[in-house]
Amino acid sequence: MADPFEVRMRFSSQLQHLNASTTSSQKAAQYALRYKDMDEDLHSCILEQLEKTSMNTRANIMYFIEHLLEMASKERHNEYVRMMQRDIIRVVDAVCPEDGSGAANVKVVRKVILSLKNKYILLDQTVVEIEGCLKERDTSASDMGLSSPANGDDPNNHNNNNNHNHATSSSSLTAATADLHVTSRPRNQHNGASTAANNSSSSSTTAAAAATAAATPRLDKRQIEQRIEEDRERHKRMRENMWQVPPDLDAEARLLLDNTSEAGDDDHRLGEEERGEFREEYADAECRHLRRERERERVGVNGGGRAGRQGRVHAAA
């Protein structure tokens, strides 16, 4: 019997080194099914890695979960399916947290959840509940700190620009207040109160936005490049699966029938034209020996018929 600690460490290493290829996910899923007698420990290991790894690795683990549950269902080992159904909300919270740090993983979670629903692994009620959570977290990646600042990677430039814009707006408000003070003295107090309220509201909004941006972790350049490469690999594999032909001939015939429109007059006319072109091409490509034999048979039939008619004419005479 294998050492449980060693099995757990190896499985954790496989989860940490997952990538966009299907081979890595299938290899880790096969390892989990090989030691299915330790399914609870391995399931807790999945949850642990989801909470401590990077966002890119969490997306890869989400795709791995899809492979694991599919293979476990085929092998009739429903313990992994049951435990994942129990903790699926926790998994979603780990892959795309509420703080917006996993905004780029929302589409990944939605795709995997819908796939598990189509495979009858997750209930419709659970999928609806998860979809409601995802809609609240489906914010743009640029707003959550996944894009570079406008003037380079230095955040100080961004802060300086904000301070400069805020100072410019403050000076403009001050100048406008001074003009109003000169032109309309009776309304000076009212305008001053309104300007102060606007400044206070603008300051509070700016402070709230700055606090949200500071609380949201930013991805470094290496993680962004890694995510781009992994997404490109997944999209390439998705296009390959779109052109994959099912091995069953009946399934292929049904697929062709579903993708074929109903026949009309134009289709019949096109079929007649194609059949005429095929006959001409076949006659031109026919072997010359076959042509000679066919001409001889045709001449023989005509000659035999003419000789028979002449014989019958002489016999009648």
Contact 60, 52 (CB under 8 A): no
Q: Are 81 and 42 in contact (CB under 8 A)?
A: no
For residue 173, what are the contacts with CB-CB under 8 A and spacing of at least 6? 195, 198, 199
Nearest to 80 by CA among 67, 95, 93, 90: 67
Q: Whole-model pTM?
A: 0.54
Residue-by-residue pLDDT tens, the chain, 317 positions: 678 899 999 999 999 999 888 888 999 999 999 999 999 999 999 999 999 988 889 999 999 999 999 999 998 888 999 999 999 999 999 998 888 777 888 989 999 999 999 988 999 999 999 988 888 877 544 454 443 344 444 444 444 444 444 444 444 444 444 443 434 444 444 445 455 555 555 555 555 445 544 455 566 777 788 788 887 877 777 776 666 655 666 777 777 777 777 778 888 888 889 988 888 887 777 677 777 787 788 787 665 555 555 555 455 55
| Dihedral-angle region of residue 152 (phi above 0 means left; psi in -120 to 50 means alpha; beta otherwise) | left
CATH number of 4-137: 1.25.40.90
Helix axes 79-95, 124-137, angle to 10 degrees: 10
Cβ atoms of residues 108 and 63 within 8 Å: yes
Residue-range domain boundaries for the chain: 4-137
